[in-house]
Amino acid sequence: MDAAHIGRLMASVNYMGQVLFALNMISNIINNAVRAIASSERIEEVLNERPSQKQPDNPVIMDIKGEVKFDNVNFTYRGAGREALDDISFTVKPGETIGIIGPTGSGKSTLINLIPRMYDASSGKISLDGHDVTGILGSHLREAIAVVPQKALLFTGSIMDNLRWGRKDATDDEIIKAAIRCFKLRIRPFGIESSFFANKAYSIQHSGSFSF
């Protein structure tokens, strides 16, 4: 085989490779288009979804003190075969602390989520300072409730940035005082402006627990 034949063969192989590459690109575009259509339909469903909870026509606006009362509360998830909560009644006075203990799936998180109206009780009544929570605007109710998750999560950024999530307009001095008071921080040489990476912080130590 002479050099001319080899050149034509190599050119043919290169052209075939370019054609296959183009066909592969077209195939990827079609696959992405199909996924995009399915995703857009789902997004449209979410955007068109309307809240199942009804906000009160004449909401109660008050200075929330924190007395929580459950009165024969029952709750069942939609489609569930049994009640998640059955005839729950208790009262917690302002300043009191209670512990809710039970195995996984016993309804601990469900009970807590009923207070800020993440769900509405199937029956019974939940009161806050003597007012039915269904008569309080959800936004006003949730402004007065803080949730401390079981697993601590720190966002990428500095310690100061993480602490400022609670109040955007807080000054640096206010944040440092609050951190020392609540977390019992011992600031190391890197200081409160040091950064978190991979959910780890190397510049602080803290002890004790806190609640809101």
Neighbouring C-beta atoms of residue 67, cutoff 10 Å: 16
In terms of pLDDT, which residue wins out, 96 or 178?
A: 96
Q: What integer pLDDT is reported at residue 95 of this predicted model?
A: 83
Alpha helix (H) residue ranges in the chain = 3-48, 108-114, 138-143, 159-163, 172-183
Q: Is the pLDDT of residue 48 over 70?
A: yes
Q: Which of 38-47, 90-99, 171-180 has the lowest mean pLDDT?
A: 171-180
Q: How far apart are CA 116 and CA 122, in angstroms?
A: 15
Paired tokens of 32: 């992405």
Question: Six-digit token pair at 151?
Answer: 């697993």
Alpha-carbon gap, residue 141 to 133, rounded angstroms: 8
Check residue 182 and give its pLDDT: 66
Tell me the pLDDT band of 156, cut-offs 50, 70 and 90. Answer: confident
Mean pLDDT of the chain: 78
200 vs 141: CA distance, rounded Å: 33
What's the pLDDT score for residue 187?
47
Q: What is the pLDDT of residue 15?
A: 84
Distance CA 210, CA 193 (A): 22
Amino acid, single-letter form, for residue 146: A
pTM above 0.75, yes or no: no
Residue 196 pLDDT > 50: no
When pLDDT is averaged across residues 4-9 and rounded to a whole number, the result is 73
Strands (E), the chain: 68-75, 85-92, 123-128, 131-132, 157-158, 195-196
pLDDT at 205: 39
Tell whether the model's pLDDT for residue 36 goes beyond 80. yes
Give the SS3 label for residue 85. strand
* Average pLDDT score over residue span 143-148: 78
